[in-house]
Structures are given as C-alpha cells and as structure tokens.
C-alpha cells in the first residue's frame, strides 16, 4: 500500500511537519540554561502563545506518550482483557467464515453485513474501554502543556532553532512581537 503513495509527497509532508518543529529534550526542559523557568505576570500571555507555537509538536508527542502509558495501565483490568479477547475471537470467526446462513438457509447474511456489524460492535466496545483513557490522558496532557507554556521561558530560542540569541533582540513568533526579558 505504501508504494501507492508518491514518495515526494511523503517527504514534503515530513519536512513540513517535522523540520525544526520537534524541539530537543534539552530545549524543551531548559536543561543547561539559567532562568529557564520563571513566572512573570506581565508577559504571561505572550509567553504562553509563543511557547504554544514553538513547542506544539512536543506537546502532541507528550500527549501521545501519556495516552500510551495510561492505556497500558488501564488494560491490566481482567474484564477489559476478556472483552478484547472475545472481540478478537469474534473477528477471527467473521473473517474466516465470511457469510452465515440462519434458519436453515432462509436468512443469508453476507460477509459485508457481518463485517459492518462487527465494526459497529468494535466501535462501541472500544468506546467503553478507552473513554476513560482518552479523557484522563487528554486532560492531564492539556494541564501539563498549559503549565509548561506558562512557566517555561524559551524566548532565547524563538526563530533560532536550538541556538541561543542575544536577549536584547526582538523576536517574532506567530505574528506576536515581544522583547524577551
């Protein structure tokens, strides 16, 4: 299937999304920097908006990691494991047998109909299994991203990648001009 996708489109998408957008671990956490975290109330909104624009891919990655960890932590529940095994067995029989005849051949159910029913059942079961994981992980990810965006002073990195700039220079991130302090 991947051969059907033109590779130049994939490469362009990778470069557009990931090129200098995923910040390094040390830049994200301010490792090795003096005063990388502070809470100055005068510039909170500018810092928040600039950090959201600058670290957005890191925030998405953080949300995915939290979701995976939460998913694994909640899958330890035996009832959920039994539901997933039962769902897997049902899918096995649907894919292996395909169509079914009921009432001595009077009712014929095609493979398309059984697959449609199984998709609906899977979606309902997945919703009930994963809904807590989804809300917990998204909620905690949003809270952590908000706290990071408010207290992390990364103004020296804006528009410069991971290189430091003179703190007296004006920067422009996302159309917002500010003078980093």
Residue 16 has pLDDT above 90, yes or no: no
- Is the pTM above the cut of 0.85? no
CA angle 118, 119, 123 (to 5 degrees): 115
The residue length of the chain stands at 181
Higher pLDDT, 61 or 99: 61
Model pLDDT, residue 5:
62
Higher pLDDT, 132 or 16: 132
Mean pLDDT of all residues in 15-21: 64
CB atoms within 10 A of CB 94: 18
SS3 of residue 176 by DSSP: strand
Provide the CA 11 distance to its chain's centre, in angstroms. 21
Residue 125 has pLDDT above 70, yes or no: yes
Higher pLDDT, 82 or 162: 82
Digit-coded pLDDT (tens) for 33-46: 888 888 877 778 88
Q: What would the DSSP string read from start to end of 86-114? A: HHHHHHHHHHHH--EEETTTTEEE-HHHH
* Beta bridge pairs of residue 178: 171
Lowest-pLDDT range, 38-42, 47-51, 157-161? 157-161
Model pLDDT, residue 147:
92
Q: Mean pLDDT highest for which of 77-81, 101-105, 161-165?
A: 77-81
Q: Tokens for 149?
A: 């965006």
Dihedrals φ, ψ of 118, to 5°? -65, -35
Helix (H) or strand (E) holding 117: helix 111-151
CA pair distance 23, 29, nearest whole angstrom: 10
């Amino acid at each position: 299937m991947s051969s059907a996708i033109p590779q130049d489109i994939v490469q362009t998408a990778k470069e557009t999304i990931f090129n200098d957008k995923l910040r390094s671990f040390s830049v994200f956490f301010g490792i090795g920097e003096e005063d990388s975290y502070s809470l100055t109330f005068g510039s909170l909104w500018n810092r928040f908006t600039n950090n959201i624009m600058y670290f957005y891919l890191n925030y998405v990655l953080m949300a995915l990691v939290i979701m995976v960890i939460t998913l694994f932590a909640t899958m330890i529940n035996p009832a959920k494991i039994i539901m997933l095994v039962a769902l897997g067995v049902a899918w096995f029989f649907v894919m292996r047998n395909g169509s079914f005849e009921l009432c001595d051949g009077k009712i014929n159910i095609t493979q398309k109909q059984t697959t449609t029913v199984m998709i609906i059942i899977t979606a309902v079961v997945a919703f009930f299994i994963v809904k807590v994981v989804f809300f917990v992980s998204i909620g905690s990810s949003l809270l952590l991203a908000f706290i990071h965006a408010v207290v992390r002073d990364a103004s020296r990195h804006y528009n410069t990648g991971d290189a430091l700039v003179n703190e007296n220079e004006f920067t422009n991130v996302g159309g917002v001009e500010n003078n980093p302090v």
